[in-house]
């Protein structure tokens, strides 16, 4: 029976204790795999997470002609080699399962001069526009034809340009970076996304021979190779997934346990730790690890004058949108009232009805805002995973609830969290993966 037909049986109410380490950042691994198509030399990626979305992307680039092989004796190490010109037709049956397939547009356009991009899939959290990608590639010289099932981009040559992105799109920035890497002359990307995974892609491209200034800022300057100088092979380590770290902070806090998170990538946790502190959750750095102490008060900190605090997402270095589901379920176990404002996607908060069915006190004001009043004792229930992040939120809720919960559609959780049941069982969680 396939993983999509299995469920988690979860018995909550037990504090999680022990040591855990985050996997590599999925949102970095996917564009790195796409960027490996830019060179005819091998690219080695380390700390690659063994998750469904990564396996889907590997399948796509293999279809395009890349040889993808794990390095024997080195878990998480993958070698990608595309000696010949890769194909330009992204298979629609695979791309519709994976939003990250959109990051192939820039590398394939730069390497082959043509790409047909089927409409990508991914989480159903609202409209996810591709305009920023298309406009950036057009600025570099691409011609675009729109079809009912996707987009065809062609370019006889790519020429550097001064580009202003109409939104700080992560994947739009990544596509523009990869195309600019092989364009003629200098490209300036303004209003660029600066998330850690965008920085990771920049660092890989630099290792491959591309000159990039402004890494980590919102203005990137790329000196393209002009298609004449071949990009080199390189080795790059995927950074730890700060979204996993945030999820582990929540799990420790709401279950009343004490957890040490190793390899926590502390510099990229400043805003996440700050937001958890507003919910009364303390975290302590220990070298490169982060400790979540047990028996915390979980007292929501009011704004000045006693006003209800407001937690909202924003482009990096603001609070990550992908953490919204986790911070919302965490707030249900904290004493006080908080407004959660998710600005980006109009369907991400629709999972709160599952939390309400478990006993949470939440008012969904509109598609973007929810008021959470806690603490609310949660009871086990039958719930489903509508997307990766909401799936993790439901797992957190089930582990702090009294009684047994059944979580359906766990394939969504597996897309973003490697062997999460096995890893949490080592912390004392009671989780079984069973047939539906």
Task: State residue 48's pLDDT score.
Answer: 97
Which of 40-49, 126-135, 151-160, 249-258 bottoms out in mean pLDDT, i.e. has the lowest? Answer: 126-135
Of residues 226 and 140, more confidently modeled: 140
- pLDDT category at 148 given cuts 50, 70, 90 is confident
d(CA 131, CA 32): 22
Residue 123 has pLDDT above 50, yes or no: no
Tell me: pLDDT of 2 over 60.
Answer: no
Q: Which domains does the chain have, with CATH numbers?
A: 3-23+240-435 (3.65.10.10), 26-237 (3.65.10.10)
Predicted confidence (pLDDT) at residue 85 exceeds the cutoff of 90: no
Flag whether pLDDT at 121 surpasses 60: no
Q: How many residues does the chain have?
A: 436
Residues in Cβ contact with 274 at an 8 Å cutoff, skipping those fewer than 6 apart: none
- Determine what percent of the chain falls in helix, strand and coil, rounding each to the nearest 5: 35, 25, 40
More confident call, 309 vs 125: 309
Is 403 a residue whose pLDDT tops 50? Answer: yes
**Three-state secondary structure along 271-296?**
HHHHHHHHCCCCCEEECCEEEECCCC
Quickly state the pLDDT bin for 421 (edges 50, 70, 90). Answer: very high
Residue 133 has pLDDT above 50, yes or no: yes
Torsion of CA 247, 252, 256, 259, to 10 degrees: -170
Closest CA relative to residue 173, chosen from 125, 121, 122, 137: 137
50 is catalytic: no
Among 2-16, 168-182, 258-272, 311-325, the range scoring the smallest mean pLDDT is 2-16
Calculate mean pLDDT across residues 153-169.
Answer: 95
**pLDDT by residue (tens digit) across 270-294?**
999 999 999 999 999 999 999 999 9
Question: In this model, does residue 333 exceed pLDDT 90?
Answer: yes
Average pLDDT in the 245-254 region?
A: 98
CA distance 342 to 321: 7
Structure-token match 């993808």, residue found: 68
Catalytic, out of 50, 67, 123, 366: 123
Predicted pLDDT of residue 3: 46
Average predicted confidence (pLDDT) for the chain: 92
- Measured in whole angstroms, how far is the alpha carbon of residue 44 from the centre of its chain? 21
Structure tokens that stand for 398 in this block: 């089930």
Q: Output the pLDDT for position 227.
A: 60
């Amino acid at each position: 029976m396939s993983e999509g037909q299995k469920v988690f049986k979860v018995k909550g109410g037990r504090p999680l204790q022990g040591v855990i380490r985050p996997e590599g950042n999925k949102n970095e691994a996917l564009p790195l795999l796409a960027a490996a198509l830019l060179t005819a030399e091998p690219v080695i990626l380390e700390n690659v997470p063994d998750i469904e979305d990564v396996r889907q992307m590997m399948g796509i680039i293999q279809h395009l002609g890349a040889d993808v092989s794990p390095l024997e004796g080195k878990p998480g190490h993958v070698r990608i080699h595309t000696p010949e010109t890769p194909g330009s037709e992204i298979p629609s049956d695979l791309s519709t399962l994976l939003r990250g397939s959109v990051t192939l547009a820039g590398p394939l356009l730069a390497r082959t001069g043509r790409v047909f991009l089927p409409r990508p899939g991914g989480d159903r959290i609202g409209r996810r526009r591709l305009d920023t990608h298309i406009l950036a590639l057009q600025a570099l010289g691409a011609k675009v034809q729109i079809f009912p099932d996707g987009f065809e981009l062609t370019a006889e040559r790519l020429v550097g340009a001064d580009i202003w992105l109409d939104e700080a799109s992560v994947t739009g920035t990544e596509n523009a970076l990869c195309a600019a890497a092989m364009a003629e002359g200098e490209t300036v990307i303004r209003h660029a996304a600066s998330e850690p995974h965008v920085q990771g892609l920049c660092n890989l491209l630099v290792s491959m021979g591309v000159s990039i200034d402004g890494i980590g800022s919102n203005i990137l300057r790329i000196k393209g190779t002009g298609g004449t100088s071949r990009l080199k092979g390189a080795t790059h380590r995927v950074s730890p997934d700060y979204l996993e770290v945030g999820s582990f902070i929540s799990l420790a806090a709401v279950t009343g346990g004490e957890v040490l998170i190793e390899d926590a990538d502390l510099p990229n946790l400043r805003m996440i730790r700050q937001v958890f502190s507003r919910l009364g959750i303390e975290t302590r750095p220990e070298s490169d690890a982060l400790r979540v102490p047990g028996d915390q008060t979980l007292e929501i900190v009011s704004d000045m004058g006693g006003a209800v605090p407001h937690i909202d997402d924003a482009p990096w270095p603001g609070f990550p949108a992908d953490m919204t589901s986790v911070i919302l379920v965490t707030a249900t176990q904290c004493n006080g009232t908080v407004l959660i404002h998710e600005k980006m996607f109009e369907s991400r908060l629709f999972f709160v009805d599952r939390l309400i069915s478990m006993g949470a006190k939440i008012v969904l004001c509109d598609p973007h805002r929810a008021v959470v009043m806690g603490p609310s004792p949660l009871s086990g229930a039958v719930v489903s995973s509508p997307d990766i992040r909401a799936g993790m939120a439901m797992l957190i809720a089930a582990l702090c609830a009294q009684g047994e919960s059944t979580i359906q559609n766990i394939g969504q959780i597996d897309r973003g969290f490697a062997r999460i049941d096995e890893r949490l069982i080592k912390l004392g969680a009671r989780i079984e993966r069973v047939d539906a």
